[in-house]
Amino acid sequence: MWRYTPMSVDSKITTQDDDKIKLSVVIEDEEFDREVDEALKRISKNIKLPGFRPGKIPRKVIEARLGPAAGRQDALEHSLPTYYGRALIENEVDAIGPPEIEITSDISHGSVTFDATIPIRPKPSISGHGSLEVEVPSPEVTEEEFQTQLDSMRKHLATLEEAEKPAEEGDLVTIDIEGTQDGEAVPGLSATEYLYEVGSGTVLPEVDEYLTGSSEGDQLEFEAKHPTEEDSSFSIAIKVGQVQIRILPEVDNEFASQVSEFETADELLVDLRHRMNETKSEQVGMLARDLIAKEIGDLVDIELPEELIETEIDRRIRDLEMRLNSQGLELDKYLEVTGGEIEAIREDFRETAEVSARIDLGLRAVAHVEYLDEEEEAFENYLGNMATQMQMKAEELHDALKQSGRLIDVRADIAKEAALQWIFDRVKLLDEDGNQVDSAILEVKEPDIPDITPKISENDGVSADDLSEDDLMDDQIVDQENNDGDDEL
């Protein structure tokens, strides 16, 4: 069981400004002498003296041979990070980067003192956070969205009927297609007797353009731009075969029983609309939370310290490593296979890391000006809940968090959680037409332990363009007609 025990290190903050502090630390002679003992034991393992076994050479003998300064220098190198870490914890310093260390005493004897100049998290001022107006899509499903989803369900049971007419968007055309580049066949871009839906955009945009208005027997030849390589193109040849149209079934009781657990069409339609409304409301809520977080970040108008951005990039790199490891991959191997470079990945993360850092500072600022970071009840509730889950006492958890240096982060996370809820309670949500949207869409099911990361997407969340009709029903999959040809695109 972790227990926090005060250590023999005297430290205090001597100077402080907006972006750094100076921490002065004293390691008392008796405390440091114990470190010297450990240092000399390490040294004795690596030297040979007649009459002594390695690791068993007395301290006096080693000091006589190497001089007293050797043990003290080694002790300082090994112990300084530990004492610095203890001083950070004792003084609750919110460091965001490595310190500049200056030894301020003669290390050859007596107590050891050093100063650490440490970059700290800035505390920007903030205003306007209590009167935010954010525009979001309407969470209500439109009739067009509802009909589109219903039609996608009807496609499951659609029948095909030959049509003697030019192909239109939504029609299905049997085609033979061949793609070449510099006279060579392009893998994955050739097929025969392929059933293709005009307007689906599943191959290349030019394919839909040329198939629209085509008829059975037409021979189409054209150039198509490479989707990813600039100044590169494909030569496409298409033989147009049979044109077919979908005949969608009527929405009746028989249809309802075939596509759902309901016996009547009325029951199906009511349930479909209900589930679509729930899904869209959740999606708009996610988008709204994302937009609100960005608005808060935009209220932070200071220049961010580079250490803060680099720390956030480091966190994202660790997340990437964890995701790769979960798939049985190592980051180095991944970079080798993909030809990528870690610096390029870091640069890709930079923009979103800065957005995330601004949101973090914004929420901390809100918590501070609204005195939310002083609410002990939320902190005590957190400790109680977490301690129960970990089957330990709250006091023991508090000690463990303090000893590990995590206590300041936990308090900050709880304060940011409270700040986010404070903002949610006051924000004004408006749809595209200026109608007020019920802020209840911001509510989410919270885990027992507060965690704000799902609610602040750090610019990785849902965008307005993501709210397509197909997204509104995750459990409804639009079938595409199977390809009866010899190859697959």
Q: Which domains does the chain have, with CATH numbers?
A: 10-119 (3.30.70.1050), 159-247 (3.10.50.40), 265-472 (no CATH)
Residue 459: its pLDDT value, please?
A: 39
Q: What are residue 265's DSSP bridge partners?
A: none
Q: What is the DSSP string of 233-263?
A: EEEEEEEEEEEEEEEPPP-SHHHHHHHSS-S
For residue 46, what pLDDT is reported?
64
Whether the Cβ atoms of residue 25 and residue 118 lie closer than 8 Å to each other: no
pLDDT at 482: 36
Q: Rounded to whole angstroms, how far apart are CA atoms 206 and 211?
A: 8
Indicate the SS3 state at residue 223.
strand
pLDDT at residue 64, rounded to an integer:
63
Average pLDDT over the chain, rounded to an integer: 86
Task: Give the model's pLDDT for residue 53.
Answer: 64
**164-184: pLDDT as tens digits:** 999 999 999 999 999 999 889
**Residues of the chain with confidence (pLDDT) below 70:** 1-9, 46, 48-51, 53-56, 62-65, 67, 445-489
pLDDT number for residue 445: 54
